[in-house]
Amino acid sequence: MPVASRWRLCGCRWIVAVVALYGARAAALDVEVIPAWEGYYAPGEATELLVRVSSPVGGRLRLTAGDDAMTSVAQLNVQPDAVTVVALPVRPAAGSVTITAALGIAAATETLVNLLPLERPLRAVVIGLGTDLAAWLAEDDVSLPVPVAASALPQTAAGYAPVSQLVMAADVLTQASPEQRHALAQYLGGCGRLLLAATTPAVDAALRAQAGCSGRFVMTAASAATDATRASAAARPLPGARALQAMHAAAPRLWWLAVAFFAAYAAIMFVLGGGNHRRASVGMLLVPVLATGLLAATWSRGEPEFRFSLWLDQDSDSNIARFQALLDVYGQGTQAIEFVQPRELGLPVNLSPGPMEIEAVAGATNIRLQSLVLSRHSLSFSGAVEHLPMFSIAKGPDGLSVTYTGPGESPAATLAWDGRYFPLPTLRTAQSWQLDDAAATIPRERLPQALVAQGDGLLVALGSAASSASLAMLVGRSAAVWLMLRPPGTEHAS
């Protein structure tokens, strides 16, 4: 054998040996999955999985967790013999989730995690440094108490979805990471119930400032009996997807392609028909041509079309607003749709059939959907955001008054009060309007159903204008935005 051939053969064997050694070491990938709240989850809701990964070799690690409906993805570089911890939000359709870890060219490692569906509301009791919380861990017929270490609190807002009530002491906050404190703030902003078993006035005030519903669901108590009597209420549900879709007046542009198809077909049948069966047959033959033209026009479009609707619910004396958002994505062909949404929107809920893949990237969420011709994907989001209200509402001896505190002229607004609906006149900064018996009313049938179902409050049509920096970051694209502003002291319980 020639010397050159021997060297090439030796080099190939060396490469094969190196690849085999790398694959063998990467195959020793150690994966540990810790579900939040001891594996309990609310069917149809999100939860969080904490994944710990270690490997003798470094490289690019890809983690996926989920099922056929939604897959959560994380990609990061890992160091040899180092433990990497990743929090993955998931929304299991069934009682199990598959976690796949792949490092470099090695074979992927799969781990199946079985979860426990909740049959009672979950009361999470966070064990702190020294506070005795044994009274809240007692079993009862109302809720399921689950102990959790302070270090195991969720790092994503989605991780709090199974929790009906959180019980903790103030010292827990000193042990929480920035990600855990941010997730807790989102839970409180969404009017999540928090019972402080031991606290200080400063901690109590700080937590109430982060809470929605004017902090009504942040409570202190001295016994489990007090907890049972004071913590049974829940925040009023926000409008659903159908209500938000109904508040859009204009149809998406892509749908006009279908309208143009049927209009063109009708015109051809009218011109070529006229009682002549032969010409009518020619018109029928043109149907495939029109369909082909429609598909070509659809596929030729550059980007999918988006329609974003945002509903905010806020007390007029609070700087925290709950929100419900709906994103309709109109596809063009059969290729995948990939786009980025602000991380503050939270974990999306796919209301349409088909798989969805999400990945956290640099303060945002990358979403990937599979599209069809003229398809619509509806994604729902919910959470809380800081927002400075532009109106103040006060109930005094003379009745209800509304004062505009924003710049320039007030946007269009409608006041719902005691089953009646009043158009708010245009106000300038610091100008007030008083509700009286002579005020003009709007017939109920002329109002959007979302307003009628939300009780008393001032509905402000913000349009696409963002009234705060945090709201502008939350929207991220042109949108239709409505704000339901509640008078102080309004009952939020559903």
Dump pLDDT digits (tens) for 40-50. 999 989 999 99
Cβ atoms within 10 Å, residue 309: 22
Burial bucket for residue 370 (CB in 10 Å: 0-12, 13-18, 19+): middle
Asked if the model's pLDDT at residue 97 lies above 70, the reply is yes
Tell me what pLDDT residue 253 has.
Answer: 59
- 312 neighbors 463 (Cβ within 8 angstroms): no
C-alpha–C-alpha distance, residues 87 and 427, integer Å: 47
Tell me what pLDDT residue 281 has.
Answer: 63
More confident residue, 54 or 284: 54
Alpha helices in 54-139 (DSSP H): none
More confident residue, 207 or 488: 207
C-alpha–C-alpha distance, residues 472 and 381, integer Å: 16
Dump pLDDT digits (tens) for 319-336. 999 999 999 888 766 678
Tell me what pLDDT residue 305 has.
Answer: 80
Site of tokens 């659809």: 298
Alpha carbon 164 to chain centroid distance? Answer: 18
Asked if the model's pLDDT at residue 14 lies above 60, the reply is no
The DSSP symbol for 273 reads -
Tell me what pLDDT residue 254 has.
Answer: 57
Asked if the model's pLDDT at residue 79 lies above 70, the reply is yes
- State the average pLDDT for the chain: 81
Asked if the model's pLDDT at residue 183 lies above 70, the reply is yes
Asked if the model's pLDDT at residue 74 lies above 90, the reply is yes
Portion of the chain with pLDDT greater than 70, in percent: 74
- 133 neighbors 145 (Cβ within 8 angstroms): no
Asked if the model's pLDDT at residue 404 lies above 50, the reply is yes
Q: What is the mean pLDDT of residues 60-84?
A: 90
C-alpha–C-alpha distance, residues 262 and 311, integer Å: 35
| Structure tokens, 95 | 């009682």
The DSSP symbol for 447 reads S
| Range from 250-259, 415-424, 446-455 carrying the lowest mean pLDDT | 250-259
Asked if the model's pLDDT at residue 371 lies above 80, the reply is no
| Range from 195-199, 271-275, 330-334 carrying the lowest mean pLDDT | 271-275
Site of tokens 């976690």: 99
Nearest to 104 by CA among 52, 74, 59, 73: 59
Cβ atoms within 10 Å, residue 363: 10
Element (DSSP H or E) covering residue 12: helix 3-26
Tell me what pLDDT residue 180 has.
Answer: 94
C-alpha–C-alpha distance, residues 36 and 161, integer Å: 10
- 118 neighbors 41 (Cβ within 8 angstroms): yes
Contacts of 139 (CB under 8 A, 6+ apart): 145
Helix, strand or coil for residue 432?
Answer: strand
Asked if the model's pLDDT at residue 19 lies above 50, the reply is no
Dump pLDDT digits (tens) for 215-247. 888 888 655 555 555 556 678 889 888 888 877
Tell me what pLDDT residue 356 has.
Answer: 92
Helix, strand or coil for residue 356?
Answer: strand
More confident residue, 444 or 26: 444
Asked if the model's pLDDT at residue 294 lies above 70, the reply is no
Tell me what pLDDT residue 367 has.
Answer: 93
Asked if the model's pLDDT at residue 23 lies above 50, the reply is no
Asked if the model's pLDDT at residue 466 lies above 70, the reply is no
- 443 neighbors 309 (Cβ within 8 angstroms): no
C-alpha–C-alpha distance, residues 314 and 384, integer Å: 10
Contacts of 256 (CB under 8 A, 6+ apart): none
- How many Cα atoms occupy the beta-carbon half-sphere of 338 within 13 Å? 6
| Range from 293-297, 359-363, 403-407 carrying the lowest mean pLDDT | 293-297
Q: What is the mean pLDDT of residues 167-192?
A: 90
Q: What is the mean pLDDT of residues 380-399?
A: 88
- Confidence label for 299 from pLDDT (cuts 50, 70 and 90): low
Tell me what pLDDT residue 20 has.
Answer: 41
C-alpha–C-alpha distance, residues 258 and 262, integer Å: 7
Helix, strand or coil for residue 230?
Answer: helix
Site of tokens 């404190």: 181
Tell me what pLDDT residue 38 has.
Answer: 93
Q: What is the mean pLDDT of residues 167-183?
A: 88
Tell me what pLDDT residue 72 has.
Answer: 93
Asked if the model's pLDDT at residue 191 lies above 70, the reply is yes
Burial bucket for residue 296 (CB in 10 Å: 0-12, 13-18, 19+): exposed
Q: What is the mean pLDDT of residues 482-486?
A: 91
Asked if the model's pLDDT at residue 157 lies above 70, the reply is yes
| Range from 78-82, 87-91, 343-347, 445-449 carrying the lowest mean pLDDT | 445-449
